[in-house]
């Protein structure tokens, strides 16, 4: 037990704040007003911060990539409302707690506490914890969590992977990561993706010198208004795909210090950032970039941008960089750059769907469409494909192939799912009745209906159009079962 210095209420050792007045157990009272008189001795001896003293070894928290349940338990992540790291002695750990330490020595315990607002997940140890080197999806999918309190007890200095660490936390409005030690981190892909209520982030103190992947880092953070990334070192980054995609609430992004000489992928980097009027890319080195597709698409309010120094020698298609940028007018785009219009028309003709799909996948440039082999079960489940269906092509369109969306070509028809929409099935008996097969922005369109989505190059999308057209012609000469 500990006594609150303000109201003198006795509190449990696991509590970091007084249950009566909310005063923090380890608050620095020096030079701050209090509601009750504090003696000089007390103020001097009182812990100044909750920071973990140097030299004290801490246990390592277990990795937890399962985005459904909580640290190996049967508790669903979606049922948690708050997460809090606390100090607690082993003998004071509540009953029902379970071991969440990496070494399984019960040095870190987790338990839940019921409140009127829902469950609070407590993660307790005597002197704080080290984050696991693998922090992938550690807090991902806590869709109803409104608050995560680290209380300076979460040491990230050993962390290497932070991919999707806080992704899909749909109710999270604010989180303090300003004290994170990220000096060893190499992967920050989708770190805050799909946090569509997150309003501000201060990452100005982040050390990103070793990070190689920032793809989708803030994707679909629709209401993000303040983003402090002034100190980002991007010298080692290879992938910036969809990095700020759909951050429509941002009025400015400071990318003036970005070093992009090693970046290969930039597709959709600022796509959907409709609140931006200006983007400073004058210092971007794009000599190694092979994909810029839709990099500034749907930046509806963009009125100023300098791309005159962009090098696009390795980029196959730059025709759609500014699609949907209504206010740019007749701007001269990419001075002295000739648009690459390679249009390879192939013949995928065959007497059945399977043969046509095999021909399509026999080429190096189009075989990448069948990209869901590693997460086949996840995507099949999401697309709700019937167990008896024979699958010819299985394509994952979700960020970093998480199996959240995509399409499949089967012997029965086409299964297609867009993010946040239900799966649609177009059976071959209906597909053959369509009169026009064409392509739109990242999609194959049949009589105005999207039957497949692809976010890669325009050349491959063209080949998808040719393939589906071949299937359409085949079906109208031979009715398949």
pLDDT for residue 218 is more than 90: yes
What's the farthest any 2 CA atoms get from each other in the chain? 93
pLDDT for residue 13 is more than 80: no
CA distance 435 to 112: 58
Tens of pLDDT, residue by residue over 403-447, are 788 999 999 999 999 877 889 999 999 999 998 888 887 899 999
pLDDT for residue 42 is more than 70: no
CA distance 80 to 149: 13
Among 399, 404, 417, 405, CA closest to 265:
399
The predicted structure's pLDDT at residue 38: 45
Question: Residues near 69 by Cβ (< 8 Å), separated by ≥ 6?
Answer: 75, 76, 77
| pLDDT band at residue 400 using 50, 70 and 90 as cut-offs | low
- Output 425 or 400, whichever has higher pLDDT: 425
The predicted structure's pLDDT at residue 331: 46
The predicted structure's pLDDT at residue 341: 39
The predicted structure's pLDDT at residue 321: 85
The predicted structure's pLDDT at residue 6: 64
* Average pLDDT, integer, range 30-52: 42
Q: What is the 3-state secondary structure (H, E, C) of the chain?
A: CEECCCCCCEECCCCCECCCCCCECCCCCCCCCCCCCCCHHHHHHCCCCCCCCCCCCCCEECCCCCCCECCCCCCEHHHEEEEEEEECCHHHCCCCCEECECCCCCCCEEEEEEECCEEEEEEEECCCEECCCECCCCCCCCCCCCEEECCCCEECCCCCECCCCCCCCCCCCECCCCCCCCCCCCECCCCCCCCCCCCEEECCCCCCCCCCECCCCCCCCCCCCEEECCCCCCCCCCECCCCCCCCCCCCCCCCCCCCCCCCCECCCCCCCCCCCCEECCCCCCCCCCCECCCCCCCCCCCCEECCCCCCCCCCCCCCCCCCCCCCCCCCCCCCCCCCCCCCCCCCCCCCCHHHHHHHHCCCCCCHHHCCCCCCHHHHHHHHCCCCCCCEEEEEECCHHHCCCCEEEEECCEEEEECCCCCCEEEEHHHHCCCCCEEEECCEEEECCEEEEECCCCHHHHHHHHHHHHHHHHHHCCCCCC
The predicted structure's pLDDT at residue 103: 94
Among 287, 329, 332, 331, CA closest to 312:
287
pLDDT for residue 44 is more than 50: no
CA distance 409 to 428: 10
pLDDT for residue 41 is more than 50: no
**Chain-wide mean pLDDT for the chain?**
85
- Output 52 or 231, whichever has higher pLDDT: 231
| pLDDT band at residue 337 using 50, 70 and 90 as cut-offs | very low
Of the given ranges (328-332, 378-382, 449-453), which has the lowest mean pLDDT?
A: 328-332
- Output 311 or 336, whichever has higher pLDDT: 311
* Average pLDDT, integer, range 220-243: 93
Write down the domain spans for the chain.
Answer: 1-49, 353-475
Of the given ranges (11-20, 140-149, 163-172), which has the lowest mean pLDDT?
A: 11-20
Tell me, yes or no, if the pTM score tops 0.95.
Answer: no
The predicted structure's pLDDT at residue 43: 40
């Amino acid at each position: 037990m500990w006594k609150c210095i303000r109201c003198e209420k006795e509190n449990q050792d696991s509590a970091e704040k007084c249950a009566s007045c909310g005063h923090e157990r380890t608050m620095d009272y020096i030079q701050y007003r209090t509601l009750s008189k504090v003696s000089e001795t007390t103020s001097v001896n009182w812990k100044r911060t909750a920071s973990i003293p140097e030299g004290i070894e801490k246990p390592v928290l277990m990795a937890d990539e399962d985005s459904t349940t909580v640290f190996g338990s049967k508790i669903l992540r979606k049922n948690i409302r708050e997460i809090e790291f606390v100090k607690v002695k082993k003998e004071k750990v509540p009953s029902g707690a379970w071991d969440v330490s990496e070494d399984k020595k019960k040095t870190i315990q987790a338990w839940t506490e019921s409140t009127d607002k829902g469950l609070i997940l407590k993660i307790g140890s005597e002197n704080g914890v080290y984050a696991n080197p693998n922090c992938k999806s550690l807090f991902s999918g806590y869709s109803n969590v409104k608050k995560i309190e680290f209380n300076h007890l979460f040491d990230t200095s050993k962390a290497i992977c932070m991919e999707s660490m806080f992704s899909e936390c749909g109710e999270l409005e604010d989180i303090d990561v300003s004290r994170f030690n990220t000096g060893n981190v190499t992967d920050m892909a989708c770190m805050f993706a799909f946090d569509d209520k997150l309003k501000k982030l201060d990452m100005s103190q982040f050390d990103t010198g070793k990070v190689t992947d920032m793809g989708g880092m803030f994707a679909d953070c629709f209401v993000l208004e303040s983003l402090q990334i002034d100190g980002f070192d991007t010298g080692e980054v290879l992938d910036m795909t969809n990095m700020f995609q759909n951050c429509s609430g941002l009025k400015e992004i400071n990318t003036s210090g970005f070093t992009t000489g090693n970046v290969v992928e930039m597709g959709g980097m600022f796509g959907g950032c409709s609140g931006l009027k200006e983007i400073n890319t004058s210092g971007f080195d794009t000599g190694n970039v092979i994909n810029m597709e839709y990099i500034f698409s749907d930046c509806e309010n963009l009125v100023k941008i300098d791309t005159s120094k962009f090098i696009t020698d390795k980029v196959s298609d730059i025709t759609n960089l500014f699609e949907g940028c209504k206010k740019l007018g007749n701007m001269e785009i990419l001075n002295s750059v000739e648009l690459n219009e390679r249009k390879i028309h192939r013949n995928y003709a065959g007497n059945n769907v399977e043969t046509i799909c095999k021909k399509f996948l026999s080429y190096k440039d189009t075989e990448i469409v069948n990209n869901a082999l590693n997460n086949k079960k996840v995507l099949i489940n999401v697309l709700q494909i019937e167990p008896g269906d024979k699958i010819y092509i299985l394509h994952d369109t979700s960020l970093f192939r998480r199996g959240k969306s995509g399409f499949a070509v089967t012997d029965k028809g086409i299964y297609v799912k867009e993010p946040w929409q239900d799966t649609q099935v177009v059976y071959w008996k209906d597909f053959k009745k369509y009169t026009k097969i064409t392509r739109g922005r990242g999609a194959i369109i049949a009589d105005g209906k999207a039957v497949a989505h692809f976010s890669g190059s325009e050349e491959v999308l063209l080949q998808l159009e040719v393939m589906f057209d071949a299937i359409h012609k085949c079906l109208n000469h031979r009715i398949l079962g």
